[in-house]
Structure 1
Amino acid sequence: MTRQIYRDPGAGAIEFGKQYVIGHKEFDLLSMSRLLDGDLHDPTDKRVKRCDYCGYFWRDDSLRNTRKTCSEECKRGIRTLQRRQQRADQELLNPNPKPKKRTLMDDYVYWLEYPYWGDEYSMLKVGWKYEVPHKASTIDYIEAKNELYGEGNRVKPKRVIDYHGDNRDDF
């Protein structure tokens, strides 16, 4: 007989176990082992089965009685184990994957105190996206629009400032 591996019980297993625990004054370790062995429930009930992930008994309430896990957490755990197994199998079948394709950002050394580009071509190809070169007239145009619209892209209200040419208004 194979030994059953138990993980944290899912919601379905907890609900199933509650019906045997709640209301009984003496539920000791012997009763717990009988519950885990499947001696407390009706063995002819086809809807009571073991969860494929956590290993506890639970009652399948699905229409066709085809679920394999007692809860969504256990279903997620099964899929995680399957993905882990698939990755391990893939690593065994293909131990040396293709080398990573070199990108232009690989020439940028950012982790030092003074970051630098290792290749001028990469610097020009990548850097233009962040530091766009403009002519002086274009920069003046952008500044004028920023003054007119401000940060929120709305025209600032025009304010009339009374000024008579002398310091009459200063008090």
Structure 2
Amino acid sequence: MLNNTYRDPGEGAIKYANQVFEGNSRVEIEMMLSALLKGDLNKAEDKRVKRCDYCNYWFCDDSLRNTCRTCCDDCKISYKTLQRRKQRAEKAFLNPKPKKETKSDLYLWWLEYPCWANEQAMIEVGWRFEKPMSARKMDYVLSQQEKYGKGNRKKKAEIINYNGNELE
């Protein structure tokens, strides 16, 4: 899997870069860095030098059978996580879970005259928004509205002028 995106280099990639740049000055390393990333500094006959599948940097495979595809265990874990995420996404795309029907799905809001398809669902969902009240509770609410008005502020008490002059 050859890609052009570089992630944080793994331990194996850092170890290989240290081997390649050993004994060079900082200026020489800066000039050689692009050649290392392209793979120009690798020896063609060395089959142990590969690109890491996850971080995409060059590394030297130290395994017995030369079968490693990642430069370190951290890259291997991250690569497997990426594979699982991709597999889950493909599985969810190809075989989506059916959406569980809820009671609020039975409200047909898109019609010209919205209505409920099931009366029981209307009662079970609607009670949260329109709670029934007793006559006594309704009388209390109306008296409070008269006393305080529609908001939460109490009306100011009227000052009655007993002199008979209402203009003051």
Q: Summarize the alignment of residues 142-157 of structure 1 with structure 2, pairs less than 5 Å apart.
A: none
Distance 1:16 1:3 in 2: 20
TM-score (norm 1): 0.53
Determine whether 1:19 maps to 2:19.
Answer: yes
Task: Provide the secondary structure at the position in 2 that maps to 1:49.
Answer: strand
What SS does structure 1 have at the residue aligned with 2:50? strand
Task: Tell me the residue number matched to 1:92.
Answer: 93
- Compared CA separation, residues 97 and 73, structure 1 to 2 (3 A): farther
Question: How many residues are aligned here?
Answer: 99
DSSP 3-state at the match of 1:27: helix
Q: Distance in 1 between matches of 2:66 and 2:42?
A: 17
CA distance in 2, matches of 1:6, 1:16: 16
Residues of 1 paired with 2:14 and 2:69: CA distance? 16
Q: Which position in structure 1 is the counterpart of 2:7?
A: 7
**2:60 & 2:52 partners in 1: Cα distance?**
9
Show CA shifts across 1:139-167 (max 9, x none). xxxxxxxxxxxxxxxxxxxxxxxxxxxxx
What letter corresponds to residue 5 of structure 1 in structure 2? Answer: T
- Counterpart of 2:35 in structure 1: which amino acid? R
Q: CA deviation at 1:94?
A: 1.9
CA–CA separation in structure 2 for the residues paired with 1:29 and 1:75: 28
Moved over 6 A (4+): none
Look up the SS of the partner of 1:14 in the other structure: helix
Alignment match, 2:35: 34
* 1:83 matched to 2:81: no
TM-score, length of structure 2 as denominator length = 0.54
CA RMSD after TM alignment = 2.0
Matched residue of 1:24: which SS?
A: coil
Residue equivalent to 1:62: 63
- The percent of aligned pairs where both chains have the same amino acid is 52
Distance 1:66 1:96 in 2: 38
Partner Cα distance (1:45, 1:61) in 2: 12
Partners of 2:3 and 2:56 within 8 A in 1: no
